[in-house]
Homo-oligomer: A and B are copies of this chain.
Amino acid sequence: MPKEVVKAEELARKQREISVSEFFAKNRHLLGFDNPTRALLMTVKEFVDNSIDACNEMRVPGDIKVELKQLSENRFIVIVEDNGPGIVKDQIPKVFGKLLYGSKFFSMKQSMGQQGLGASVAVLYSQLTTGKPIKVISRISPKKPAHYYELQINTQKNEPEILKEKDVDWKVDHGTKVEIELEGRYQKGKQSVDEYVKQISIANPHISITYKTPEGTLKYQRAVNELPVEPKEIKPHPYGIELGNLISMLSHTKARTLQSFLTTEFSRIGSGTAKEMCSKSSLNPNDKPSKLTNEQIEKLFKAMQDTKIIAPPTDCLSPIKAEVLEKALKKEYEAEFIITTTRSPVVYRGFPFQIEVGIVYNSKWPQDEQTRLIRLANRVPLLYQQGACAITEAVTDTNWKSYGLQQSGNNLPAGPAIIVVHMASVWVPFTSEAKEAVAHYEDIIKEIKLALQECGRKLSIYIHKNIRAREQKERASLFDAYIPELATALNKLSGEPKTKIEQGLRKRLKKDLPLLMVGEENVKK
């Protein structure tokens, strides 16, 4: 055989399918599992996010228990328990033992999880670093038994392997509890599990969290009793799809005419709009969707982009809401002043999203330190990759000097404040699977800046009225205290009556700083 055939055959023999588990096991840093400190955080995060999503789905006020049990310096058992709806028995193995399996990936509504990836990658990481299975108990009703599983992932097949399985007694009516052993490191600071738990309770003030660390137990009580608005699932908006999606939707649709395809599978296309699109692309509304040629589909796609369509419905979103965010921040921080705002929903690439901002201010906090920035996406705190995040860009691009904070160049502002930014969307465009930074879409950055400016203006008014005013008042009252002595001296020099001089000076002070003197008559003698 000629040498090139040998080579081609040899290469062909080496070709292999790579399972998604094998891929993410080797590339687990892509999901944030790249060192023990971060892996501990990611594990807690993935399971807590899933628990809160489950409780919200069921419309029960979530009670989440998180425990970090330290076995040795870098070995932990993480336990997360919720009072959600539980998981149907035959789904338990796949939910935890198969990557890319879930209910949220195809759903157009706001949720914390979106990829069907996180929890099972935590299982994969546990398995890689300790060889131990995940232990799951779940129950869907007091009338049904609780199911116990010990699971691992068969990485070559990306399928769950059931090591143990039995019905067990469990005191809980419904819910899920997972126990997972892993190599981890428990640290304090801005990117710690402690900080994550604190921030997630701010972002989800309707949830109560009991958090047991190696050092003690913290209890985050819910700040509000009302559940957040339930997000509704929506259909894709014509502006949010791509040609390839349209081709695939047309070939899979159950609709028998193009007209009914357009009106039933998209949001905001009524029969009038559908007809307009068809006529723009020289198609018959009664055509069979699956019969369209590629050229016809391309024309239809163009017509869809060129037709004026109102923005998608926004009830797929569930913002924290300004007044609730304020309560939550008040509970966690000793604030002197809090401003919060929730903007109206807008759209990027056909996806609705909504921005919320909160600023906590306390003049007693250090004046020269960088302000803390809390980034939230679909109520999940983002603790890593601050520099790569669109939220950070929006904050550093805002002129904070005019709002009473210090700022050098395009850095984060400095001053005694905490800035909270929340982006809620049916699809947050993260820059990586680890979901730590929002991608730089112009529409998103613009909206965040508007929200920051709105809060910034109120902060500026507060600072000028109260802080600057207090400073000026202090200066004024100092001057005021010297008026008698000054008057005596001037009287000696000029011969004018002392009282007249005093009155004149006081009048002058009052005229220059009228605001300051209001209700401050007692300052003067």
Contact = CB atoms under 8 A, between A and B. Distances in A.
Contact of A4 (B2, B94, B130, B140): B140
B18 A100 contact: yes
A231 to B, nearest CB: 14
A54 to B, nearest CB: 8
Contacts of A17: 94, 98, 100-101
Interface in A204-255: 242-245, 247-248
Contacts of A116: 18
Nearest to A91: B12
Contact of A91 (B15, B22, B102, B298): B15
Contacts of A132: 294
B91 A7 contact: no
Interface residues of A, number: 76
B18 A102 contact: yes
Given A4-B85, A131-B244, A439-B29, A15 B103 contact: yes
Given A29-B431, A30-B433, A102-B18, A85 B11 contact: yes
Contacts of A127: 244, 247
Nearest to A34: B439
A9 B26 CA distance: 34
A8 B87 contact: yes
Nearest to A103: B14
A90 B13 CA distance: 11
A105 interface: yes
A375 interface: no
A34 B439 CA distance: 10
26 contacts: A4-B141, A4-B173, A7-B57, A7-B85, A8-B87, A8-B88, A8-B140, A8-B141, A11-B85, A12-B87, A15-B101, A16-B103, A16-B105, A17-B100, A18-B106, A18-B115, A25-B244, A27-B433, A30-B433, A124-B244, A127-B244, A127-B247, A128-B243, A131-B297, A155-B248, A432-B432
